[in-house]
Structure 1
Amino acid sequence: MSSTTCQICDGEVEEFLDLGRQPLSDAFPAEGDLGHEFFYRLAVGMCRSCSMVQSMEQVPRERMFNEDYPYYSSGSSVMRAHFEGIARGFLGGELARPDPFIVEIGSNDGVLLKTIHDAGVRHVGFEPSGKVAAAAAERGVRVLGEFFDAGTAAGTRESDGPADVIFAANTICHIPYLRSILAGVKTLLAPDGVFVFEDPYLGDIVAKRSFDQIYDEHFFLFSARAVQAMAARFGLELVDVERLAVHGGEVRYTIARAGARKPKAVVADLIAAENARQLADLRTLRQFAAATARIRDDLVATLRRLRAAGHEIVGYGATAKSATVTNFCGIGPDLVSYVCDTTPAKQGRFTPGTHIPIRPAEAFSDPYPDFALLFAWNHENEIMAKEQGFRRAGGQWIRYVPDVHLG
């Protein structure tokens, strides 16, 4: 175990979990690229000063978010409805004022801003990943193919004026250089504006033992306590929190300029609940690390037992988080025959690091396997409704969150 310097406050970050040598989670190599992948050590620690949980090593952002980034937010009907609901909430609330302006950090394929655009509201999305940004532009969304930071925020303030809303979903936790992000937010935000972002919640990750939420793109694992401290360092204030069920458990944080709005009681309530759970105690996080090792051992033993009995096992969902599972556990094509996925850009390629073939979703039922390892567990309800035929054919799901079980 090692220590490093906190990206927020320069305090000491003490490591509590090492997930080993890992590839880029969203880089699905073609057959000719199997020997040329980028690897790094994936480990996480907690700052002893501000309690921010963060990765011990940074992966260069250009390696993760580039022209070939394969994740499209519109790919899930659940997430499409989720983002449309957020957009309509803004239109009926924070944007219900004369000539409003909203900025989205990491706007992906425009799944949220399309609704904003259709309402005729001024907007801009920052999206450095080329193909998903192009998909947003095709929808009529105004998008800049740049990273959001203090410099680009200042440029937007000059060209468009202050933002009433700055929004980000599953993006802020990706960014190690949060000081520049928050400086940019402070520059761009209107005096009574809000910065709203939602990301995976440390409390849910620990409670569910969902260690696969830790991968290269998830540099930070936020808690309300840590976000409150982070905001205060930049003259901002955490004024609202909302628990969300999406992506295995997230929190939506609302930040305003210090003193501009009265914090809601739910902020203090959630921080009190975190304190009661000792979420900022390294002993709690080390217990989570020990549980992670047990899940790894149980999962590998289960897969080996089923394969030894002659059963076929396939993976369901070539997710970014599955890279953590397969590489930490050493799961390759000897245990999982293939992974099926609906994303065309991933099909015909291989899983990062462990090189399990990725096939189209249609392969899952042609014929059904005996067992399916549910990598996309955060979309379980959607998948179970779609794949009822698998169970009728006698198939069983293998889950590893919060523990290894069949059913």
Structure 2
Amino acid sequence: MCSGPVEEFLDLGLQPISQQYREPDDTSDEFRFRLAVGQCGTCTLVQQLDEVPPELMFRADYPFLSSSSSRMSRHFLGVAENLLRTALAGPDPFLVEIGSNDGIILRAAQRAGVRHLGFEPSGEVADIAAAQGVRVRKEFFGEDSAREVADVDGKADVIFAANTVSHIPDLGEVFRGVHALLAPDGVFVFEDPYAGDVVEKTAFDQIYDEHFYLFSARSVREAARRFGFELVDVRRVPVHGGEVRYTLARSGRRQPSPAVGSLLADEEARKLTAPATLAGFAERASGVRERLGAELSALRRSGARVVGYGATAKSATLLNYCGIGPELLPFICDSTAGKQGLVTPGTHIPVRPPEEFARPYPDYALLLAWNHAEEIVAKEPGFRESGGRWLVHVPEVRLL
């Protein structure tokens, strides 16, 4: 981002594309890349050291839908309502979303009669949104496409992105696009996994191919300044294991809220960007790998039946880093129809529908979708009633 020196602090080994599920009998070569992470010594931005071509990750058949989780649906509807009450409350507002997925936020704008447009390169996901009346462009957001939209639709009052900006290695292209499309007094709002939560919780599985960056308030502020923007607000968001919603405006247009200074001071007090902090994080990740493997092996030797729950993108990092395959987890239950009947990336564990979880219930279940623990545990009361125990690995390996 700033041409400063990037120092590696964590190597999670060779990893596959996190959402590249395959047929059980597919023996073709599987793309792998070294998932190593470093931090810039100048601007403190945390990033992967090897870039995966975006077309390999965000394919036409990309399997994740934002609306698949009731909790995330409620979250995004809340975001939309907040934007409609505030930044989109003026005359003839215009909302643009980068990475609009199946259009939860834009559908709310549509119902409110607000002009809107989504950028979504995954064609089948974009088609789902379009079928519900959402305006969407099936392409990546960038400077050229942003200028085209500005010429036709005018400037945007809000440019929003959720779990998208951290996916784009060329942040300069993002900021140049925002610069071309955002109204003079508009805001660029995005939320992504927070480096502070990842480090504090030892949530190393939040690092996978799509999450090229791990943002902190300090690194976002430094990145914004290089393109004429200012960090004017931050808000901690309790989804996806801990995120921050950043609000940026053109420099000098808005007074930063006290929350910005507070979070920056908190990061400084915690020494979030200190090399020793990151080295400790890497050491704890290695410890989780050893303890989780040992726990699953011990359960297998004891004759206990263990399965996985939640074939998430983050589980690809965990399973491949820890060397967990079908011999330790015979299958994983997941509600995403497009994953059922396939096997997991790299580790080739069968994915089955949630109905299989109770036929019969296992003795233990590794909760891979740990960030949705409350929702999943509430949905599966029969498992605990049958004597089953949930096994989690964040912030440490333990039984719930």
Shared fold (TM-score greater than 0.5)? yes
Q: Distance in 2 between matches of 1:359 and 1:74?
A: 20
Q: CA deviation at 1:282?
A: 1.3
Q: CA deviation at 1:45?
A: 0.3
Q: CA deviation at 1:33?
A: 2.8
Match of 2:183 in 1: 190
Q: Distance in 2 between matches of 1:269 and 1:206?
A: 19
- Does residue 1:292 correspond to 2:285, yes or no? yes
Q: Distance in 2 between matches of 1:388 and 1:284?
A: 38
| SS of equivalent to 2:104 | coil
- Does residue 1:202 correspond to 2:195, yes or no? yes
Match of 1:70 in 2: 63
Q: Distance in 2 between matches of 1:321 and 1:35?
A: 23
Q: Distance in 2 between matches of 1:37 and 1:112?
A: 35
What amino acid is the match of 1:172?
V
Q: CA deviation at 1:59?
A: 0.2
- Does residue 1:99 correspond to 2:95, yes or no? no
Q: Distance in 1 between matches of 2:143 and 2:7?
A: 28
Q: Residues 241-278 of structure 1, C-alpha deviation per residue, up to 9 Å, x if partnerless?
A: 00010000000000000000000111011011001111
| SS of equivalent to 2:190 | strand
- Does residue 1:36 correspond to 2:29, yes or no? yes
Q: CA deviation at 1:36?
A: 2.5
Q: CA deviation at 1:300?
A: 0.1
Match of 1:58 in 2: 51
Q: CA deviation at 1:32?
A: 3.7
Q: Distance in 2 between matches of 1:65 and 1:248?
A: 22
Q: CA deviation at 1:35?
A: 3.0
Q: Distance in 2 between matches of 1:152 and 1:369?
A: 50
Written as runs of structure 1 = structure 2, the 5 A alignment for 1:196-345 is 196-345=189-338
Q: CA deviation at 1:68?
A: 1.1
Match of 1:83 in 2: 76
- Does residue 1:402 correspond to 2:391, yes or no? no
What amino acid is the match of 1:226?
S
Q: Distance in 2 between matches of 1:127 and 1:10?
A: 29
Match of 2:148 in 1: 155
Q: Which residues of structure 2 form unaligned runs of 5+?
A: none
- Does residue 1:385 correspond to 2:378, yes or no? yes
Q: Distance in 1 between matches of 2:164 and 2:138?
A: 15
| SS of equivalent to 1:306 | helix
Q: CA deviation at 1:139?
A: 1.1
Match of 1:364 in 2: 357
- Does residue 1:18 correspond to 2:11, yes or no? yes
Q: Distance in 2 between matches of 1:10 and 1:340?
A: 43
TM-score by length of 1: 0.98
Q: CA deviation at 1:120?
A: 1.0
Residues 24 and 350 in structure 2, CA contact (< 8 A), matched pair in contact too: no
Q: Distance in 1 between matches of 2:213 and 2:27?
A: 29
Percent identity, please. Answer: 58
Residues 104 and 166 in structure 1, CA contact (< 8 A), matched pair in contact too: yes
Q: Distance in 2 between matches of 1:42 and 1:76?
A: 27
| SS of equivalent to 1:38 | coil
Residues 52 and 220 in structure 1, CA contact (< 8 A), matched pair in contact too: yes
Residues 325 and 349 in structure 2, CA contact (< 8 A), matched pair in contact too: yes
RMSD: 0.7
What amino acid is the match of 2:153?
D
Q: Residues 166-188 of structure 1, C-alpha deviation per residue, up to 9 Å, x if partnerless?
A: 00000000000110000110111
Q: CA deviation at 1:34?
A: 3.9
Q: Distance in 2 between matches of 1:120 and 1:359?
A: 41
Aligned length: 400
Q: Distance in 2 between matches of 1:400 and 1:34?
A: 30
| SS of equivalent to 1:31 | coil
TM-score by length of 2: 0.99
| SS of equivalent to 1:248 | coil
Q: CA deviation at 1:91?
A: 1.0
What amino acid is the match of 2:160?
F
Q: Distance in 2 between matches of 1:32 and 1:129?
A: 26
Aligned mate of 1:350, from 343, 346, 356: 343
Q: CA deviation at 1:143?
A: 0.4
- Does residue 1:117 correspond to 2:110, yes or no? yes
Residues 188 and 249 in structure 2, CA contact (< 8 A), matched pair in contact too: yes
Q: Distance in 2 between matches of 1:384 and 1:356?
A: 22
Q: Distance in 2 between matches of 1:163 and 1:293?
A: 45
Q: Residues 131-189 of structure 1, C-alpha deviation per residue, up to 9 Å, x if partnerless?
A: 11010001110000000011111111111110000000000000001100001101111
- Does residue 1:130 correspond to 2:126, yes or no? no
Match of 1:5 in 2: none
Q: Residues 312-357 of structure 1, C-alpha deviation per residue, up to 9 Å, x if partnerless?
A: 1100000000000000000000000100000000000001000000
Q: Distance in 1 between matches of 2:399 and 2:11?
A: 27
Residues 34 and 355 in structure 1, CA contact (< 8 A), matched pair in contact too: no
Q: Residues 114-141 of structure 1, C-alpha deviation per residue, up to 9 Å, x if partnerless?
A: 1111111100000000111010001110
| SS of equivalent to 1:247 | coil
What amino acid is the match of 2:197?
D
What amino acid is the match of 1:237?
E
Q: Distance in 2 between matches of 1:295 and 1:267?
A: 33
